[in-house]
Structure formats: structure tokens, C-alpha cells
Amino acid sequence: MNKVLEVNDLHVSFDTYAGEVKAVRGVSFDLNEGEILAIVGESGSGKSVTAQTIMKLNPMPPTRIVSGEILLGDIDIVKASEREMMAIRGNEVSMIFQDPMTCLNPTMQVGKQLTEAIRHHKKLSKDEAYREAIRLLNIVRIPNSKQRVLQYPHEFSGGMRQRVMIAMALSCEPKLLIADEPTTALDVTIQAQIMELLMEIRENTNTSIIIITHDLGVVASIADRVAVMYGGKIVESGSSEDIFYHPSHPYTKALLESLPKTDMDKNKRLASIAGTPPDLLNPPAGCPFAGRCKYTMKICIPHMPPDFEPGKKHKAACWLLHKDCPDPEPASAIGG
């Protein structure tokens, strides 16, 4: 399989009055053609910053890529000029966001916006681009596309607007589509439909997709691979099967425990993870999860756990996986 993206030891910081906030601290992952990767984590884990850095969309400054590589084919995005980035954005890589309204022009018919986006990337006449717009609306399963092109964004529901955004993102036939919390503002049924649509797009076009989400449940049926971020780091990564059925990191386990098991549970109070994420202005020297983990050991606080490999292509950064680690039962743990 062809590798579409390779991120190596990426560090990204924000310079603030209080000092340097180390938002992304040594993130590495790769993505093959036609693969769907979910990057999951709480807010402040560094997942969105990672995604925006791939597009170089972070406001710079105060955001600063400290070190690392982001290889998209032969190009290292870290070193790419703004001019090169303009060619990459929307040609090779497209992005969709949580709130489509921020990207759609409320005063312009949807078809016109799509046609303009298409003509920006392809040398097509107005008529050809218009036909292409209708074709894209069909691909994202917007019914009555011929009438819908004449409507304005406010005439679309939230889910339909997100479909328009996906059509817009597909207009340049990107190699990589990044979706940052694409369904967070939508209700559960619509969420599932949008995920299904992304899967269909992958099947039909072989586009690689990164989905950024705080909700592990949303990506359960769609992701091939999952990377769990915490405190600016990927603490566990593996196939969906590894993460959902054989999680190794206590944080991943806690995230899974906090998911509703059935639709009934959604009304109940879910188990939440006690405590707060680490302060990335003064990131801990050791495991970022040590303050909230129920297995915290002496070694966890001063020493950062390396990546252990509980399985093939399955990585987790937790001292419990060290071969000499004692049995992690509460008697030997101080977190209780």
C-alpha cells in the first residue's frame, strides 16, 4: 500500500505571555492510501493542532512548529512555503470542520459556491463546473440536487450543510481529507449518516481520511486505525480492533468505559475520568496521565514511558507494559 502521509516526531508550541505551551510533543504516525485514521482525545490533547499543522492552518505566530517532519509524498510540509501550501491545500489535502456555516457564504447559492470551488481547481467552463457541482451533490447524497443548487446555506439542515462541505472538499479530488470533529454539532442519527458517507467516499475514491474526534464511539465502525492522544502525545495507537477490543493504555480503557453501551445509557450519567489533563505550559517529565491514572507507580512520575508494542503495529506508552513491571493490582498502585 502507498503511504500518503508520514508525520515524524512533530513538536508544535504556542508562545503565550505566560510562556511556551507545548501543545504537540513528539507525535508520529503514518497513513496509507485509502485508509481511515481516527485521532481521538479530549479537548486540549493536541489533536486539532496536529490536524491544522498538516494543513499549516494554525495562526502563526503564536503557533510554532518546533521540530519534526510532515511528509506528503516528496514534500515536507514543515519546510513548505506559503505559496507551496496554497497549492497543497485544496489540491492534495482538504479539510472539513465542525461548523460548516463558518466556511459557507450565507449570501451565495450553494451551487454557485461549489461551482467557484471547482473552477478554482479545474479548468472547466461554467456549464461544466455546474454539472460537476450537481454530480458532487449526488455523491454526498443530497436529494433533489438540481433544485438544491439554487438554495442558500440557511435552507439546508445541519447535516445537509456538512454534506455540502464534504462535496466542496471533494471538488479537488484530494489524496487526503481531514475532518475535524465533523459531526460534533449534529445529532446521533445524522452523525452515523455522515460517518457512513465518509466510508462510502473512501470505498469509491480511495481517499485517505483523518477524522479528529473527542468521541471514540463515533469512529468505532469506520476507522481502520485509531491514535489516542493525551497531553500532546499519542499514548496508544493500533487497529480499530486493537483499540476497541484489546486496549492497553489505562487512558484508552478509561475512554472506552466512559462510552454509552446502549442507546438507553445515553440518558444516564456516564462514567467520566476524574481529574484534569496536564498543564502543557509546564508539561510533566513523566507519563502525562500519571495524575489521573489508577495504576500510577513510582517510575511513572519522573520517567516518560516509551512506546511498548503489545501487538503487531499496536503501540502504547505505559510502564505497565514493561516486561519487569509488577502485577498492576491496586496493592502495588498508589492511585487506587
Give the residues lining the site for ligand SF4 (CB under 6 A).
Answer: 249-250, 287, 289-290, 293, 295-297, 300, 305, 318-320
Q: Residue 48: name its binding partner from Mg ion, ligand SF4, none (Cβ under 5 to 8 Å by kind).
A: Mg ion
Q: How far is the CB of 322 from Mg ion (least distance, A)?
A: 33
Nearer to ligand SF4, 174 or 250 (CB): 250
Distance in Å, CB of 132 to Mg ion, minimum: 31
Cell numbers at residue 117, please? Answer: 470551488
Residue in the shown chain whose Cβ atom is closest to Mg ion: 48
Q: How far is the CB of 201 from ligand SF4 (least distance, A)?
A: 36
In the list Mg ion, ligand SF4, none, the entry touching 296 (Cβ below 5 to 8 angstroms by class) is: ligand SF4
Q: How far apart are CA 154 and CA 305, in angstroms?
A: 49
> Rounded CA gap, 271 and 326, in Å?
27
Partner interacting with residue 234 (select from Mg ion, ligand SF4, none; CB below 5-8 Å by kind):
none
Handedness of CA 189, 193, 196, 202 (dihedral sign): negative
> Considering beta carbons, is residue 73 or 306 the nearer one to ligand SF4?
306
Rounded Cα–Cα distance for residues 83 and 81 (Å): 5
Q: Which does 156 bind (CB under 5 to 8 A by kind): ligand SF4, Mg ion, none?
A: none
Residues 40-99 that bind Mg ion (CB under 5 A): 48
Sequence-distant (6+) residues with CB within 8 A of 306 are 317
Question: Counting contacts by CB under 5 A, is residue 162 touching Mg ion?
Answer: no
Q: How far is the CB of 179 from Mg ion (least distance, A)?
A: 11
Least distance in angstroms from the C-beta of 256 to ligand SF4? 14
| CB of residue 117 to ligand SF4, shortest distance in Å | 44
DSSP character at residue 35: -
Name the residue nearer to ligand SF4 (CB basis): 133 or 297: 297
Task: Give the CA dihedral 184, 194, 70, 16, nearest 10 degrees.
Answer: -10
User: Using N-to-C axis directions, what is the helix angle for 158-170 and 110-121, rounded to 10°?
Assistant: 20
Nearest residue to 226 via CA among 49, 70, 68, 29: 29
The count of C-alpha atoms lying within 13 angstroms of the C-alpha of 255, restricted to the half-sphere facing its C-beta, is 28
Question: How far apart are alpha carbons 224 and 214 in whole angstroms?
Answer: 17
22 contact choice in Mg ion, ligand SF4, none (CB below 5 to 8 Å, kind-dependent): none
Taking the alpha carbons at both ends of the chain, their separation in whole angstroms is 44
Which option in Mg ion, ligand SF4, none does residue 70 bind, with CB closer than 5 to 8 A by kind? none
CB nearer to ligand SF4: give 56 or 249.
249
99 and 184 in contact (C-beta within 8 Å)?
Answer: no
| 24 contact choice in Mg ion, ligand SF4, none (CB below 5 to 8 Å, kind-dependent) | none
Hey, what amino acid is at 301? I
> 195: part of which helix (H) or strand (E)?
helix 188-205
In this structure, what DSSP letter does residue 269 have? P
User: Which one, 176 or 290, has the nearer CB to ligand SF4?
Assistant: 290
Between residues 156 and 319, which has the closer beta carbon with respect to ligand SF4?
319
Of residues 10 and 287, the one with the C-beta less far from ligand SF4: 287
Residue 268 or 322 with smaller CB distance to ligand SF4 = 322
Helix 158-170 to helix 188-205 angle (10° resolution) is 20
- Contacts to Mg ion by CB under 5 A: 48
